Amino acid sequence: MNRDDLLLGKQVPVVNHYAPELLFPIPRREAREALALPEPLPFEGADIWHAYELSWLDSDDKAQVRVGRFSIPASTPNLVESKSFKLYLNSLNNLVFDDDTAALACIVRDVSAAVGAEVGLAVFDPDDPAIAPGQPSGECIDSAFGRWPRREPDAAMLQCDPASLVEEQLYSHLLRSLCPVTGQPDWATLWLHYRGPALDHAALLSYILAYREHQEFHEQCVERIFRDIQQRCRPEFLHLQAFYTRRGGLDINPFRSSGGGQPPWLRLARQ
């Protein structure tokens, strides 16, 4: 598929029939080459999506509704564009499945085909406490003396102290980037856990604020942040996740780790 087929930013009528062809894959390769990321990749991880408008019909034509948690490995050749994902999921609304197992198998098959590898899918009832809002662990740096630098993010903005080795978890609610297609703002909470030279919190906050006018997809922003912290501070380990707010019934939570890390598996209050 080419970018002319991209549905994002276009007025699209509601699709009332099953339409897996709506899923739009975007190759990860181009953005990673622009970041000069080596092969094998210097991180592992997954893109974790919560789908709040997941519904189909059972064999009695009774509507079923779930909240879905998708896990798309960072190693897949493609990411999936969010509007196409929303439209695909809505195309299932009037499709009849014999049972939940059949519905989930269909969805996993279609999304896996789009991204180029097997994806994970767990589903929850809408009132399941497992998807109740949580809070990131660690220290919020939003009160640090960081300022919007009014320029593009650059690893040189980050400062660390090689004489002070620490292990800490930090987060900020102030990550804002722009969709590279529509220019609309995407808000997120950025969380990181690392061990290594102590990051200067004010400099880190200014670096995060530099994304305020930066145009990139969610997954690409997270990989850029991961690369910059790795290159600038050389931590022993780094786990990083952005919790983007919901748009179109979907939130995206890219997680990248230098190895051995697990995503927090939580949903924040503003999601």
For the question of residue 5 being annotated catalytic, the response is: no
115 and 168 co-located in one domain: no
Which pLDDT value is given to residue 4? 59
**Higher per-residue pLDDT: 130 or 12:** 130
Which pLDDT value is given to residue 16? 86
CA-to-CA separations, 79 to 46, 48, 85, 106, 225, in angstroms, rounded: 10, 11, 10, 19, 18
145 and 244 co-located in one domain: yes
Q: Tell which of 131, 151, 180 closes a domain.
A: 131
179 and 72 co-located in one domain: no
Q: Tell which of 131, 152, 187 closes a domain.
A: 131
pTM of the model: 0.94
Instruction: Tally the domains of the chain.
Output: 2
Which residues constitute the domain of residue 114?
A: 3-131
Give mean pLDDT, residues 109-128: 98
SS3 percent helix, strand, coil of the chain, rounded to 5, is 25, 35, 40
Per-residue pLDDT band for 232 (boundaries 50, 70, 90) equals: very high
Give mean pLDDT, residues 245-259: 96
% of the chain exceeding 70 in pLDDT: 96
179 and 101 co-located in one domain: no
Q: Tell which of 131, 151, 179 closes a domain.
A: 131
In the set 186, 200, 228, 251, the catalytic residue is 186
In the set 160, 179, 221, 233, the catalytic residue is 179
For the question of residue 179 being annotated catalytic, the response is: yes
